[in-house]
Amino acid sequence: MDVKRDTISRINEKYNKMSKSHKKLATFVIDHYEQAAFMTAAKLGKAVGISEATVVRFAYALEYEGYPEFQEALAEWVKKKLNTVQSIGAKYGASSQAEILTSVLSADIEKIEDTMEHMDAQAFEAAVDIILGAKHVYIIGLRSCKPLAQFLHFYLNMIRGDVYLLDSTSISETFEQMLRISGKDVVIGISFPRYSMRTLKAMEMANDKNATVIAVTDSIHSPMCLYSSCNLLARSDMVSIVDSLVAPLSLINALVVALCLRRPDEVRRNLESLEHAWDNYQVYLKDEINFIDEDMLNTPLQARMGRRRKR
């Protein structure tokens, strides 16, 4: 058995070529790995609604010698995940609070620098063009990626209309929200390890509907890239019991700024309209409002981009 490729990695690598029943099983294993690791083939098949024989064939398809080896490998992966707190304790146990702060921030800085070094500038520019040219924009990011999706939705809604956040705990409800998606729309899927199968299925549906799909993920080998035509990659690692999503957030922030600079007049009008609404309904006091400085929308970069579009 190739110990370098854990069970979840094998599932992600082979997901695109799996049959429908195997995809259904893969989704259950990834979303409920704690339970799946201790289920017999018969119980796992019953939970998913497929035969025991199909579960055994699933193990063979992942290049295991049989279901027992698959179960053992999955249990080992779960054990490593559950021991994360212990490993973090071993790493930081003797450190002071200040040393922990410095260590974690330094690690985040390194991830941002790595993201900068490997960023595909053409993919970034293409993403800006796709988002501005789409009829509707759908954004999906679940679990730890949910704040990233909310952040992008909040600011993208200030830049253009028809922006929808796909926010549901049910894949069927997500599909309902995407019912009218078409080839004129774009779906932005945000997912980092442990990847979300619900996000992947939403991107698969968008691809089937001929919508353009943008993936915000960590690697070209991510399963999120299976259905995307534009990949924005940012490094993400687990530095503690939580995922480090600083680099992905910086990438999304850069995307928002680039979009603002392409639509400065519309952004200004939207902010003025929002300020008027706040004043009318006394949402904020005057001294609490901090709007975007006019100079931010009249930068040399914005001027160069304007000249380039006129050519």
Instruction: Give 27-48 pLDDT, tens digit per residue.
Output: 888 878 888 888 999 999 999 8
| CB contact set of 190 (below 8 Å; sequence gap of 6+) | 139, 140, 141, 145, 148, 149, 152, 199, 216, 217, 248, 252
**Domain boundaries, position 294:** 264-310
The enclosing domain of 38 has a CATH number of 1.10.10.10
Same domain, 285 and 172: no
For the chain, the domain total comes to 3
Pick from 241, 246, 243, 247: nearest CA to 91? 241
User: Tell me, what's the pLDDT at 113?
Assistant: 86
In a domain, 113, yes or no: no
| Token pair listed for 233 | 């990659």
In a domain, 103, yes or no: no
| CB contact set of 57 (below 8 Å; sequence gap of 6+) | 22
Question: Taking the model in full, what pTM does it have?
Answer: 0.65
Same domain, 144 and 230: yes
Pick from 118, 181, 168, 103: nearest CA to 142? 168
User: Tell me, what's the pLDDT at 294?
Assistant: 55
Q: pLDDT under 70 in the chain at which residues?
A: 1-5, 81-97, 99-100, 168-171, 237-243, 274-311
Give yes or no for a contact between 165 and 139, defined as CB atoms under 8 angstroms apart.
yes
Tokens 């687990």: give the residue.
238
CA distance 311 to 307: 7
User: Tell me, what's the pLDDT at 1?
Assistant: 38
Q: Using one digit for the tens of pLDDT, what is the confidence trace for 218-276?
A: 888 788 888 888 999 988 765 445 567 888 999 999 999 898 888 877 777 777 776 66
